[in-house]
């Protein structure tokens, strides 16, 4: 599996996304339809630009090819020059193909992915400006997009509260969402990892602030989002954290199961004072216990026909399969196996999911990558190959994680 996935990264994913670089206007093209036609004048989603920047940063870390660092820099420069609002701060939702503001909503989720990308890019490039921008966004989230209960969702350009329709589904509009909090956790984990590993004395106050914020969002995960009675993370909430719908997002749960573990591990590694170490120990134990249950629940209840169902509403599984869920399943099952090597069913599940991906999701056409989703009979739908949400973040990360976790010692 490791050999196949490394080859897939080098021969399929990297060439496809590298070929989308917009040499004229900067960044990367924002839309490729099901027929593989690139719309060179489509808006460029800022989440997509962040995720592509993160992908090439991670690919360079994994493979060391200077071309990959150049692609990461292309993404970074577009973010820096076009996606940041120079007047009010923060990252836009989208810009035109030329890099002019298009959708100026400031969403917490979007700011988090920019932090994720900027932190990873700084890690491989050493560019101090990238770290400064990541920290600026961190402080912006903490100052303007958070209240005493947790993180809020959407704001207009001037940071006045706005509708959260972009991250609300299933007939509800959430005041707080699992998805936003999960990816704030992910972004802060990467930022803390970089600050801890680089050991920059001049950034110690920043490290402490990020450590404190990450410990807080980890607490929200265990105390507010995690539902031990139902062995799942709830999805959509009102302002007081009341769940709005009976929805089990099994796809997000398998993703959360390893992202939360990583957050706990980075929090522990980044603890410096005795107080921080004691706090991290408690959080780590609670998170690792919860995620073990979460992974088991997904394996036992949602792993069907060698793949994981995306979600269950009112106990009914959604039809078909979605690309990102399968990528996260490979990593989530490998993570569960790493925690419990005696549970070889998780290793088997990861391998079976990769075989399912290879047979059903990888587009065999030259110049393509993965299909977005499949029907109930596992036929590809007509959804585009690239658009603001369809990106190399999930499947690229699957490759990096498999390469890192399976190093020939199994």
Can you state the angle between helices 204-220 and 178-198, rounded to 10 degrees?
Answer: 150
Q: How confident is the model at residue 127 (pLDDT cuts 50, 70, 90)?
A: very high
Does residue 50 lie within any of the structural domains? yes
Residue 175: pLDDT band (50, 70, 90) is very high
Q: What is the pLDDT of residues 5-49, one digit of tens each?
A: 999 999 999 999 999 999 999 999 999 999 999 999 999 999 999
**pLDDT score, position 169:** 86
Q: Please, are residues 69 and 48 in contact by the beta-carbon 8 Å criterion?
A: no
248 within 8 A of 314, measured Cβ to Cβ:
no
Look at residue 410 and tell me if it is in a domain: no
Flag whether pLDDT at 409 surpasses 80: no
Interval 109-137 mean pLDDT: 98
Whether residue 151 lies inside any domain: the answer is yes
| Residue range 307-322, pLDDT digits in tens | 999 999 999 999 999 9
CB 82, CB 33: distance < 8 Å: no
CATH of the domain at 348: 1.50.10.10
CB 192 within 8 A of CB 214: yes
- The reply to whether the predicted model has a pTM over 0.85 is yes
37 lies in some domain: yes
Band (408; pLDDT cuts 50, 70, 90)? low
Structural domains in the chain (count)? 1
Mean pLDDT across the stretch 195-220? 95
Rounded to 10°, the helix 274-301/323-339 angle is 120
Q: Is 314 left (phi over 0), alpha (psi -120 to 50) or beta?
A: left
- Confidence band (pLDDT; 50, 70, 90) for 407? confident
The answer for residues whose C-beta is within 8 angstroms of residue 186's C-beta and 6 or more apart is 112, 116, 259, 263
Residue 410: is its pLDDT beyond 60?
A: no
CB-based burial of residue 236 (10 Å sphere; 0-12 exposed, 13-18 middle, 19+ buried)?
buried
Half-sphere exposure of 188 (CA within 13 A, CB side): 32
Q: Do residues 44 and 96 make contact, with C-beta atoms less than 8 angstroms apart?
A: yes
**pLDDT, tens digit, 9 for 90 and up, residues 89-115:** 999 999 999 999 999 999 999 999 999
Q: How many Cα atoms within 13 Å fall on the side-chain side of residue 234?
A: 22
Q: Choose between 323 and 408: higher pLDDT.
A: 323
> Percent of the chain at pLDDT above 90?
97
pLDDT at 67 over 50: yes
Q: What is the DSSP letter of 160?
A: -
Question: In this structure, are residues 29 and 17 in contact, taking their beta carbons and an 8 Å threshold?
Answer: no
Q: How many CB atoms lie within 10 A of CB 182?
A: 23
* Average pLDDT for the chain: 97
Upper half-sphere CA count for residue 342 (Cβ side, 13 Å) = 0
Q: pLDDT for 228-276, tens place per residue?
A: 999 999 999 999 999 999 999 999 999 999 999 999 999 999 999 999 9
pLDDT at 39: 98
Report the alpha-carbon distance of residue 166 to residue 244 in Å, rounded: 16
In which domain, by residue range, is 325 found? 2-405
Q: What does the alpha-carbon distance between residue 149 and residue 199 come to, in Å, rounded to a whole number?
A: 32
Per cent of the chain over pLDDT 70 is 99
What pLDDT digit, counting tens, does each position of 352-389 carry?
A: 999 999 999 999 999 999 999 999 999 999 999 999 99
């Amino acid at each position: 599996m490791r050999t196949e996935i490394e080859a897939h990264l080098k021969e399929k994913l990297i060439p496809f996304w590298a070929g989308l670089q917009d040499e004229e206007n900067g960044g990367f093209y924002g839309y490729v339809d099901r027929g593989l036609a690139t719309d060179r004048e489509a808006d460029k989603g800022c989440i997509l630009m962040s995720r592509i920047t993160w992908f090439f940063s991670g690919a360079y870390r994994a493979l060391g090819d200077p071309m990959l660092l150049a692609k990461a820099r292309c993404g970074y420069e577009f973010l820096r020059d076009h996606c940041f609002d120079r007047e009010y701060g923060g990252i836009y939702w989208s810009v035109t193909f030329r890099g002019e503001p298009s959708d100026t909503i400031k969403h917490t989720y979007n700011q988090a992915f920019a932090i994720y990308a900027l932190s990873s890019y700084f890690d491989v490039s050493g560019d101090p400006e990238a770290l400064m921008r990541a920290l600026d966004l961190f402080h912006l989230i903490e100052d303007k997009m958070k209240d005493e209960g947790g993180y809020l969702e959407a704001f207009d350009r001037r940071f006045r509260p706005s509708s959260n329709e972009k991250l609300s589904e299933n007939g509800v509009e959430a005041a707080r969402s699992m998805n936003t909090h999960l990816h704030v956790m992910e972004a802060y984990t990467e930022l803390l990892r970089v600050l801890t590993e680089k050991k920059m004395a001049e950034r110690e106050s920043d490290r402490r602030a990020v450590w404190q914020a990450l410990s807080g969002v980890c607490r929200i995960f265990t105390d507010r989002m995690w539902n031990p009675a139902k062995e799942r993370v709830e999805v959509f909430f009102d302002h007081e954290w009341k769940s709005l719908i009976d929805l089990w997002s099994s796809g997000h749960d398998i993703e959360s199961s390893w992202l939360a573990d990583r957050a706990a591990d980075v929090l522990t590694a980044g603890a410096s004072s005795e107080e921080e170490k004691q706090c991290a120990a408690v959080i780590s134990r609670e998170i690792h216990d919860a995620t073990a249950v979460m992974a088991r629940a997904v394996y036992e209840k949602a792993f069907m026909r060698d793949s994981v169902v995306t979600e269950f509403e009112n106990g009914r599984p959604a039809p078909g399969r979605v690309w990102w869920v399968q990528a996260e399943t490979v990593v989530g099952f490998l993570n569960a196996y790493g925690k419990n090597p005696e549970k070889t069913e998780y290793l088997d599940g990861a391998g079976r999911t990769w075989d399912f991906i290879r047979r059903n999701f990888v587009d065999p056409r030259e110049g393509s990558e993965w299909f977005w989703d499949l029907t109930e009979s596992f036929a590809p739908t007509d959804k585009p190959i690239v658009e603001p949400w369809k990106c190399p973040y999930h499947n690229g990360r699957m490759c990096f994680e498999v390469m890192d976790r399976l190093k020939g010692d199994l």
